[in-house]
Amino acid sequence: MPTRRDMLASTAGALSGAVVFGVPPLAEPEQQRSPAPPPQEPAIPADPTKAPGAPTSALGVRSPQVNPARTPTGAIAGSSLTPHQSLTGTITPADLHFERHHAGVPAIDAAKHELLIHGLVERTLAFSIADLKRFPRVTRTYFIECSGNGGGAFRRPRPEMTPQQIAGLASNTEWTGVPVRALFNEVGAHRDAAWVLAEGSDAAVLTRSIPMSKMLDDALVVWAQNGEPLRPAQGYPIRLLLPGWEGNASIKWLRRLELGTRPWMTREETSKYTDPLKDGTARQFSFEVDAKSIITAPVFPERITRGWHPISGVAWSGRGRVTRVEVSTNGGQSWSNAALLNPPTSKAFVRFEQMWEWTGDETVLLSRATDETGYVQPTRAALIEARGIGTSYHSNPIYGWKVATDGAVTFHGET
Amino acid sequence: MRRLTIATAALLVGCGPSGSDARSPQRMGLGREVPAHEVALVNRDVGPDGVELPPGRGTVAEGATVYAAKCASCHGAKGEGMAPFPRLVGRPAEAEGFKFGASETSLDRTIGNYWPYATTVFDYVRRAMPQLTPGTLTDPEVYALTAFLLASNEVIPMDAALDAESLRAVKMPYQDRFVPDNRRGGREVK
């Protein structure tokens, strides 16, 4: 929804634009004395070719007919999910990227913010944001997925779930920043550094221990998302980005990297973000995201009509490229390869699509992704068999959508 | 695979320019040298061996007083939790033996029945609690709260006190249940 400020800006633009048509604009003092009342929602004319349209604007807004929204929860610690059913393509708009905060979104002065790197280093250095921007940059598209994504749909699937509720803790955007290995070269990282503590500058002072191997592989310190500075909810002014790994480890509002020899066993890697298994153990440092896909159309609460429909969705893997997405339109009796609409890249969303003619019979639509390691997205039953029902982190079962004879589409989670 | 990556990475770092981005000179000369006393202001993490633990000491009884004043309003008078604030205390029989993975019902993961390291309690309480005034507890208060929470979870005696040495010595009941991630991609579902 456009805000009142957007409306006022739009009105001001309209007034100055009026000069073009020979109508003098209102004098400045007049505007100050009686600000324009909040205008109505712009009406959509029957024929948009018969009157001039809206003027240019300082900041773009969505059409009043397009109202995607996240699902904010929690007063301080909470999450807010990406509305996959409202999106096409692969790039998540930055304002719809999911959020997960552990003590709110901090307000940070980028001019004062520094990244301190210390511990097993030759030189203890703090880098300003301006310093970081002077290193050679990289721009890459990567998804981030919270390892809690889909936990609820795994343990308690319900027919009225949407893609947002099932998989909204995953988003995919373009990031720009500096490789961590360039920073570690600058400080002179010691050979015996095996783990790195990354710390955020939020009120949780969130910390995770990251293996040195990941930091030297493809880890980035990023300051930009989709071509503009990070949003505060995404870590402004800088965040760590660990491609393909559970989102919690990509520390936002990054302020410190400490190089050491062993993990710190922080709260977020012990009491949380560990995965209990049915054999009475719990996986720890389970960073990688396994291959996953979800159909985002048609989905609940749509009601479809007979005839041709594109079955469309997204797939991703934290272990590399998605090589194949299969779709079944008969509850898994047979599968066929869906078209991939963009060239798959490592640790990023790929959009898949398959055309399907619905003839009015009840059925279940399914998708499953395969990645370059040969891993195939498993059924929910296979995950329960391997792990137990009590594991809700790193949940990646095949998801289904049941189509009833009246065309109503509902979530089918018990695959 | 990971082992190989570590070895390769260490080699690269050791060789200077070739280990960094190919477009970087050996060093850019960027960044501000930070003196040790300045690092100490933010370097407050405590790892599982507890070598970073600060001076100070606190008893279970002192911790009960701090808990009642600063923690109970969210976590409940006995640490029983009040959604969304998690339960901290308790060893209910249905979860004992680390039954979390196999349980159809969602079992509370308390400090006593889940947390693998006692140092984590100290580190987390000191850095992030109380939620509305994080970082305001003194080190003796954090020792006392840690003692109270561990005693309430039947990990240490109710008449115990904790300081750096005694906290380092605490072994949590289920520490040995935590295992490395064995997922590696490929055909097998794990």
Number of residues in chain B? 190
Nearest-CA distance A118 → chain B (Å): 8
Judge whether B179 is closer than 8 Å to chain A, CB to CB. Answer: yes
- The per-residue pLDDT for A74 is 83
Residue A291, token pair as written in the block? 């291959």
Residues of B whose CB is below 8 A from A279: 101
From residue B27, alpha-carbon distances to A74, A101, A137, A142, B167 in Å are: 45, 35, 15, 28, 42
Beta bridge partners of A297: A312
- The per-residue pLDDT for A243 is 98
Say yes or no for a CB contact (<8 Å) between A263 and B14. Answer: no
For testing contact with chain A, the best of B3, B8, B18, B20 (most A CBs within 10 A): B20
Say yes or no for a CB contact (<8 Å) between A205 and B134. Answer: yes
Say yes or no for a CB contact (<8 Å) between A374 and B39. Answer: no
What percent of chain A lies above the pLDDT cut of 70? 90
- What is the distance in angstroms between the CA of the first residue and the CA of the last residue of chain A? 37
Question: Which domains does chain A show, CATH number per domain?
Answer: 107-275 (3.90.420.10), 292-412 (2.60.40.650)
Which residues neighbour A170 within 8 Å (Cβ) at sequence distance 6 or greater? A82, A98, A143, A144, A145, A146, A149, A292, A316
Residues of B whose CB is below 8 A from A263: 47-48
**pLDDT tens digits along A34-64:** 555 555 566 889 999 999 999 999 999 999 9
Q: What's the gap between Cα A301 and its chain centre?
A: 22
Residue tagged 């140092």 (tokens): B119
- The per-residue pLDDT for A204 is 97
Predicted confidence band at A15 (pLDDT cuts at 50, 70, 90)?
A: very low
- The per-residue pLDDT for A392 is 85
Residue tagged 């995950």 (tokens): A383
> For chain A, what is the mean pLDDT?
92
For helices B139-152 and B60-70, angle between their N-to-C axes, nearest 10 degrees? 100
- The per-residue pLDDT for A42 is 65
Judge whether B37 is closer than 8 Å to chain A, CB to CB. Answer: no
Residue B43, token pair as written in the block? 């370097």
In chain A, positions 59-118, which contact chain B (CB-CB < 8 Å)? 74, 76-77, 102-103, 114, 116-118
**pLDDT tens digits along A297-332:** 999 999 999 999 999 999 999 999 999 999 999 999
- The per-residue pLDDT for A35 is 54
Residues of B whose CB is below 8 A from A283: 178-183
In chain B, positions 111-170, which contact chain A (CB-CB < 8 Å)? 111, 114-117, 119-120, 123-124, 127-128, 131, 134-135
Say yes or no for a CB contact (<8 Å) between A125 and B34. Answer: yes
Nearest-CA distance B80 → chain A (Å): 16
Side chain identity at residue A242, one-letter code:
L
Say yes or no for a CB contact (<8 Å) between B21 and A135. Answer: yes
Q: Which parts of chain B sit beneath pLDDT 70?
A: 1-25
3-state secondary structure of A87: coil
What are the phi and psi torsion angles at B143 (to 5°)?
-60, -45
The CB density around residue B104, as the number of other CB atoms within 10 Å, is 9
Residue A344 host element (H or E):
none
Structural Rg of chain A based on CA atoms: 24
Say yes or no for a CB contact (<8 Å) between B103 and A383. Answer: no
**pLDDT tens digits along B131-142:** 999 999 999 999
DSSP state for residue B178 in the 8-state scheme: E
Residue A380 host element (H or E):
helix A380-387
Residues of A whose CB is below 8 A from B190: 386-387
**pLDDT tens digits along A262-280:** 999 999 999 999 999 999 9
Residue A85, token pair as written in the block? 């059913």
Say yes or no for a CB contact (<8 Å) between B187 and A282. Answer: no
Say yes or no for a CB contact (<8 Å) between B177 and A281. Answer: yes
- The per-residue pLDDT for B11 is 42
ipTM: 0.89
Q: Are B13 and A189 in contact (CB under 8 A)?
A: yes
- Whole-angstrom distance, CA of residue A304 vs CA of residue A401: 12
Residue tagged 């790193």 (tokens): A394
- Of A60, A94, A89, which Cα lies nearest the Cα of A173? A94
Q: Note the helical H segments in B27-185.
A: 36-42, 60-70, 72-75, 118-128, 139-152, 164-169
Q: Are A138 and A314 in contact (CB under 8 A)?
A: no
**pLDDT tens digits along A276-293:** 999 999 999 999 999 999
Residue A382 host element (H or E):
helix A380-387
Residues of B whose CB is below 8 A from A373: 184-186
Residues of A whose CB is below 8 A from B100: 276, 282, 390
For testing contact with chain B, the best of A213, A279, A389 (most B CBs within 10 A): A213
Reported as half-sphere exposure (CB side, CA atoms, 13 A), residue A183 has a value of: 34
pTM: 0.89
Say yes or no for a CB contact (<8 Å) between A118 and B39. Answer: yes
- The per-residue pLDDT for A41 is 60
Cis amide prior to B130 (ω within 30 degrees): yes
Judge whether A287 is closer than 8 Å to chain B, CB to CB. Answer: yes
What percent of chain A lies above the pLDDT cut of 90? 87
**pLDDT tens digits along A134-183:** 999 999 999 999 999 999 999 999 999 999 999 999 999 999 999 999 99
List Cβ<8 Å contacts ≥24 apart for B91-94.
Answer: B91/B153, B91/B154
Predicted confidence band at A76 (pLDDT cuts at 50, 70, 90)?
A: confident
For testing contact with chain B, the best of A255, A258, A274, A394 (most B CBs within 10 A): A274
- The per-residue pLDDT for A39 is 56
Residue A159, token pair as written in the block? 């027919």
